[in-house]
Amino acid sequence: MNKFREQDVWYPSAQVSDSCNLTDLIRRMRLPDYDAFLKESVENPEAYWNETLRHMNIAFDPAPTAFMNTEEGPMWARFFPGAGFNVAMACLRPPPGQDGLEQPAILAEDEEGVCTSVSYRELSSRTEALAAGLASIGIKKGDRVGLLFPSSAEAVISLLAVCYIGGIVVPLYSGFGADAVSRRMVDSGAKVLIAADGFMRKGRHVPLAKVAAEALSGIPSCQLVLAYDDVTNPPAFPHVRWQDLAASTAHIDPVRTQADDPCMIIYTSGTSGKPKGAVHRHAGFPLRVAQDTAFVFDFKRGDRFFWPSDMGWMVGPYSTFAALLLKGALVLYSGAPDWPDMGRLRATAVRQRVTHFGTAPTAIRGMAGAESEVLVGPAPDIRVLMTGGEPIDEDAHAWLFHRFGEAKLPVINYTGGTECSGAILTNVLLRPIAPCRFNSTAPGVSGCVVDSHGERLVGSAGELAIRGPFNGMTAGFWNDPERYVETYWSSIPGMWTHGDLAIQDDDGQYLLLGRSDDVMKISGRRVGPSEIEGSVIDGRMVIDAVAFSVPDPKTGEAMIIFAVPGPEAEGAQDGSVERYIRQALVDKMGASYRPHAVLTLSQLIKTRNGKLVRRLARQAWLGEPPGDLSAVENPAVFDQISALCTQMRTNAKA
């Protein structure tokens, strides 16, 4: 730990170490310490899973015939074969105790400040009613159902209702256009699209009903189920009203599903080609994320989980399944995270008495730049901070730990992906947590850093990989098994390679450099873009930045930086931002890290969740076509940036 400033490291107190879920699990497995536990979880995953399922009070009916079946090869491993399990029923089971049914299951807030609370009793009755309504229009086991909603109670009820009757949910991003929705509906073969009529974002109405109708106009076999409030002015296009289906009084038993039956297809956008539909099972993704949430995030019964995300991305279903399976409350927010200011998410967390608050590095930098708006009053209920989605830089970590968390709360750095459900690398509460590092591989997953031959690396960059199959990994890509095998299992036989570059230090800490395609090699050294971006963003001269590399005939790779000027850059002489960036990199990184070019912009290309899309920045600079823009909040910005890049290159040649 001597490489870090002592004040930047979080150390577990005796109280935390003694009371956390992980300690209880280690005791019940009769192991001496965390090191022995981590080893046992990988070498004997069946014992690990049996104990975690007992902790979560989850039982199969009937019981599985084995823990894992790999007869078709490791990439097609099946878990809990023969077991009966329906994830919706496990989520709807109330917390124990006389008042369990009245405990809050969902606490939702929208941009206009309207708050909704749904108890476990109400969630169960509303889910069964909607399930009966969906069955009445012909939805049955195995049917795919699209879900186009912002983060709302209706989205959760719809998700659970589809699983209740054995259907397969296809979550869709509420920022998608009609073409993106249509492509995913066609690829999945969905029979129905359940959609909200719209929602408010930055004070403006987002018309999802129009998007849904346009998406289905060329798919006559699909029905539209639409949720809307104004019954006096119904949409003109054909649809079934969500509220009518949800008012069903018919009793319907949950469909008996197997543990390895599919329950969800989550699409991830690729750089080119069609999006990948990751297939997840009833006892795969849901149980894996609940397991991580219980033992990595230390989520206990009655806690409140808030990781703001659209329901169309992994974190939406993750939060839903984890909070409800662990018998806590799911906190939702629908709207812009910076409306009316950057303090909105923290204020929501305070109002809803959130215990577990999740965010992303880009959002952290935004909050740090508006600290006076964010840190308004105490947040006494928050116990754990969580960050993921991209590597975090030291400045963002320092602000989250020292300012947001007052140097008292652990910051759980967490990285995995849609296709593997939970984490590969993470932090746990039984080890010190250092800035930007991961103090452990995820329990039950044999994560490692390896070279191209699968040999473990220590002290140098390599591929982040997993040695062998693990519960929670995708059951393949829908209609595209060859692409799944090529993406994850073809590089090193028998090993899952994730597409990230990482370093394992001599002290056992891990550092994530970023996606293999994003990591730069400058002056012979691999460096992650987040380290460069964190070195230049100061909230004054630069409030946002994206760094990437492009081929260069002289040096091999040249570094380019796009930057958004901050308040101190206004009125400054031309070139001040570029001079500041160049000097900041020399001071913080060294003289060899001078960028090849700096371009100042009014905004960067991001998803609605605030995640930078570095591939599009690179493609704009190179003048290449953008490929899939469906996940981008501001797709028109790509053409604007591309034109500026062309002009800049032309001027440089002149």
pLDDT at 574 over 60: yes
Residue 274 in contact with residue 183, Cβ under 8 Å? yes
pLDDT 10s digits, 493-505: 889 998 888 899 9
- Residue spans of alpha helices (H) in 326-456: 344-351, 361-368, 371-374, 394-398
Exposure letters 225-248 (e unless 16+ CB within 10 A, then b): bbbbeeeeeebeeebbbbbebbeb
Better-predicted residue by pLDDT, 386 or 623:
386
Please tell me the predicted confidence (pLDDT) of residue 354.
98
Burial class from Cβ neighbours inside 10 Å (0-12, 13-18, 19+) for residue 587 reads exposed
Strand partners, 304: 329
* 108: confidence class by pLDDT, cuts 50, 70, 90: very high
Nearest one of 288, 571, 590 to 414, comparing CA atoms: 288
* 1: confidence class by pLDDT, cuts 50, 70, 90: very low
pLDDT 10s digits, 276-311: 899 999 999 999 999 999 999 999 999 999 999 888
pLDDT 10s digits, 609-621: 677 788 888 888 8
Please tell me the predicted confidence (pLDDT) of residue 523.
61
In this structure, what token pair is assigned to residue 503? 């370093």
The class of domain 522-653 in CATH terms is alpha beta
Positions of E strands within 214-303:
223-227, 240-241, 262-268, 276-281
Please tell me the predicted confidence (pLDDT) of residue 628.
72
Nearest one of 500, 124, 54 to 290, comparing CA atoms: 54
Q: Report, in this order, helix, strand and coil percent for the chain, each rounded to 5.
A: 35, 25, 40
- Domain spans of the chain? 6-99+282-514, 120-245, 522-653
pLDDT 10s digits, 324-337: 999 999 999 999 99
At the second CATH level, the architecture of 6-99+282-514 is 3-Layer(aba) Sandwich (3.40)
* 594: confidence class by pLDDT, cuts 50, 70, 90: confident
Residue 421 in contact with residue 284, Cβ under 8 Å? yes
How many Cα neighbours within 13 Å face the side chain of 391? 30
Please tell me the predicted confidence (pLDDT) of residue 2.
43
Residue with token string 């849609």? 418
3-state DSSP call for residue 567?
helix
Please tell me the predicted confidence (pLDDT) of residue 272.
43
Least confident interval from 36-45, 335-344, 633-642 = 633-642
**Which listed CATH number (3.40.50.980, 1.10.3720.10, 3.40.47.10, 2.60.120.20) goes with 120-245?**
3.40.50.980
Residue 396 in contact with residue 472, Cβ under 8 Å? no
Phi, psi at residue 610, to the nearest 5°?
A: 90, 15
Better-predicted residue by pLDDT, 514 or 211:
211
pLDDT 10s digits, 257-269: 999 999 999 998 6
349-377 average pLDDT score: 93
Please tell me the predicted confidence (pLDDT) of residue 647.
84
pLDDT at 364 over 70: yes
227-250 average pLDDT score: 86
How many Cα neighbours within 13 Å face the side chain of 234? 13
Please tell me the predicted confidence (pLDDT) of residue 614.
83
- The percentage of the chain sitting over the pLDDT mark of 70, rounded to a whole number, equals 96
| Mean pLDDT, the chain, integer | 90
pLDDT 10s digits, 240-258: 999 999 999 999 999 999 9
197 DSSP 8-state letter: S
pLDDT at 428 over 70: yes
pLDDT at 81 over 70: yes
Please tell me the predicted confidence (pLDDT) of residue 10.
95
Order of strands, edge to edge, in the sheet holding 423-426?
Answer: 115-119, 104-110, 329-334, 304-306, 356-359, 384-388, 411-416, 423-426, 440-441
How many C-beta neighbours within 10 Å does residue 485 have? Answer: 15
Give me the sign of the Cα torsion angle 471, 473, 477, 480. negative
Least confident interval from 54-58, 193-197, 530-534, 630-634 = 630-634
Measured CA to CA, the distance from residue 599 to residue 228 in angstroms comes to 44
In this structure, what token pair is assigned to residue 638? 């790509």
pLDDT 10s digits, 138-195: 999 999 999 999 999 999 999 999 999 999 999 998 888 888 899 899 999 999 999 9
Please tell me the predicted confidence (pLDDT) of residue 377.
92
3-state DSSP call for residue 388?
strand
* 273: confidence class by pLDDT, cuts 50, 70, 90: low
Strand partners, 415: 425
User: Based on C-alpha coordinates, what's the Rg of the chain?
Assistant: 24
Please tell me the predicted confidence (pLDDT) of residue 303.
98
In this structure, what token pair is assigned to residue 18? 């003694």
419 DSSP 8-state letter: G
Please tell me the predicted confidence (pLDDT) of residue 191.
96
607 DSSP 8-state letter: B
Instruction: Say which amino acid occupies 320.
Output: T
Please tell me the predicted confidence (pLDDT) of residue 271.
41
Better-predicted residue by pLDDT, 434 or 515:
434
Burial class from Cβ neighbours inside 10 Å (0-12, 13-18, 19+) for residue 30 reads exposed
Please tell me the predicted confidence (pLDDT) of residue 80.
97
pLDDT 10s digits, 546-567: 998 888 777 777 889 999 998 8
pLDDT at 524 over 70: no
Asked if domains 120-245 and 522-653 share a fold, the reply is no
Order of strands, edge to edge, in the sheet holding 437-438?
Answer: 437-438, 510-515, 496-504, 462-466, 447-450
Please tell me the predicted confidence (pLDDT) of residue 23.
97
Best-predicted range by mean pLDDT (187-196, 387-396, 526-535, 568-577) = 187-196
340-358 average pLDDT score: 96
Measured CA to CA, the distance from residue 213 to residue 209 in angstroms comes to 6
